[in-house]
A and B are shown apart, each in its own frame.
Chain A
Amino acid sequence: EAAVTQSPRSKVAVTGGKVTLSCHQTNNHDYMYWYRQDTGHGLRLIHYSYVADSTEKGDIPDGYKASRPSQENFSLILELASLSQTAVYFCATTGKGNNQAPLFGEGTRLSVL
């Protein structure tokens, strides 16, 4: 069964600290995405990747880095976490030629204090 697994599911970080959110997929999909969702708001695209070892900037990349070391894994890195980055983060995947909307993970709830 296709799956997108995010870890951790929740995290509390301190302002100025480094945070790494991880995403692992078993869908054999080429495309992977990181979105953030703020309370009461829609989702906004941070970074995405077409292929391993390559990432692209989405609509709100500032303050975030991404890493795609393999087809299955995609990480989101906050080098210097800030209060404004408190949100729920979702990883999603879709396949080349799949022509389907992305499949989402369960999310990581990040609180920056």
Chain B
Amino acid sequence: QQQVRQSPQSLTVWEGETAILNCSYEDSTFNYFPWYQQFPGEGPALLISIRSVSDKKEDGRFTIFFNKREKKLSLHITDSQPGDSATYFCAASANYAQGLTFGLGTRVSVFP
């Protein structure tokens, strides 16, 4: 059973639009949720993260909304740029030292 689920699998938006990526999880002990951005041929790079004590985290054009009760979170990319075209992974951990559990990713394509 997939502990971290992401939807949609792929997403296409026009430049300037807001992309919304969804993530849900099963394990109620998860308390740390990083999002990674990965370009083809590269390793994942940390984009933004949130802890379960918060319900929102902003960093420039990237915002995480977190709903602990429903075990759901979403990543909003506002004013999407072609350079944002990448695969985005939602991850979770109860103890970050013991590693992360990843979702299967959402491939985002931004067209000019």
The bracket for how many chain A residues form the interface is 20 to 34
- Verify A104–B43 contact, CB threshold 8 A: yes
Q: Which of B12-20, B70-78, B100-108 contacts A (4 or more CB under 8 A)?
A: B100-108
- Verify B43–A45 contact, CB threshold 8 A: no
Which chain A residues border B49 with CB–CB below 8 Å?
100-101
Which chain B residues border A107 with CB–CB below 8 Å?
41-43
Which chain B residues border A99 with CB–CB below 8 Å?
96
Q: A90-B43, A101-B49 are in contact. Are A42 and B104 (CB under 8 A)?
A: yes
Q: A42-B105, A43-B89, A43-B102 are in contact. Are A104 and B96 (CB under 8 A)?
A: no
Within 8 A of A (CB), among B44-88: 44-46, 49
The bracket for how many chain B residues form the interface is 20 to 34
In whole angstroms, how far apart are the Cα atoms of A44 and B93 in the complex?
A: 13
Binary flags per residue of A84-113, CB closer than 8 Å to B gives 1, else 0: 000000101010100111111111000000
- Verify A41–B43 contact, CB threshold 8 A: no
Which chain B residues border A105 with CB–CB below 8 Å?
43
The answer to whether A50 has its CB under 8 Å from any CB of chain B is yes
- Verify A104–B97 contact, CB threshold 8 A: no
Which chain A residues border B36 with CB–CB below 8 Å?
101, 104
Within 8 A of A (CB), among B21-37: 32, 34, 36
Which chain A residues border B89 with CB–CB below 8 Å?
42-43
**What is the minimal beta-carbon distance from B42 to any residue of chain A, in angstroms?**
6
Closest A residue, CB atoms, query B35: A101
**What is the minimal beta-carbon distance from A42 to any residue of chain B, in angstroms?**
4
In whole angstroms, how far apart are the Cα atoms of A62 and B44 in the complex?
A: 24
- Verify B91–A101 contact, CB threshold 8 A: yes
Q: A42-B89, A42-B103, A43-B89 are in contact. Are A101 and B96 (CB under 8 A)?
A: yes
